[in-house]
Amino acid sequence: DAGITQSPRHKVTETGTPVTLRCHQTENHRYMYWYRQDPGHGLRLIHYSYGVKDTDKGEVSDGYSVSRSKTEDFLLTLESATSSQTSVYFCAISTRQGSMNTEAFFGQGTRLTVV
């Protein structure tokens, strides 16, 4: 295991409510990512972080915000959940080894259903 924990693992929420997903790592890795998985789309990048308080938008960032106040935690917030945000969310981490960025290690995923 790469020391990544996502919480919660499953959540059902109502349209319009705020939701926060947490990704916690014990590896002290520099880079952290949030992806969503939808049929036919593979993994789409929502937001990513390259250091504490350093974050940037991915391909599908609308309706999502993130925060990284410490190395080990990367939070994904849906300010007002919509049914289109029903998905499986994956957190991933990677780091630098010498001049190379390593492969990404993934969490177990969070299944979010917005009703």
Partner 1 sequence: ILNVEQSPQSLHVQEGDSTNFTCSFPSSNFYALHWYRWETAKSPEALFVMTLNGDEKKKGRISATLNTKEGYSYLYIKGSQPEDSATYLCASAGSSNTGKLIFGQGTTLQVKP
Give the total residue count for the chain. Answer: 115
Q: Which residue of 19, 25, 33, 72 would you call a contact of partner 1, by CB under 8 A?
A: 33
CA distance 107 to 105: 7
Stretch that binds partner 1, among 14-22, 42-50, 65-73, 77-85 (CB under 8 A): 42-50
The structure tokens 């969503």 sit at 36
* 52: Cβ contacts below 8 Å, ≥ 6 apart: 68, 69, 70, 71
The structure tokens 């974050």 sit at 55
Pick out residues in 82-111 that bind partner 1 (CB under 8 A).
Answer: 90, 92, 94, 96, 99-109
Stretch that binds partner 1, among 9-17, 29-37, 60-68, 69-77 (CB under 8 A): 29-37
Structure tokens at 12: 């059902």
Is residue 61 close enough to count as binding partner 1 by CB under 8 A?
A: no
Q: Which residue of 48, 64, 74, 89 would you call a contact of partner 1, by CB under 8 A?
A: 48
Peptide bond into 8 cis (omega under 30): yes
Is residue 31 close enough to count as binding partner 1 by CB under 8 A?
A: yes
Site residues (vs partner 1, CB under 8 A): 30-31, 33, 35, 40-45, 48, 50, 56, 58-59, 90, 92, 94, 96, 99-109
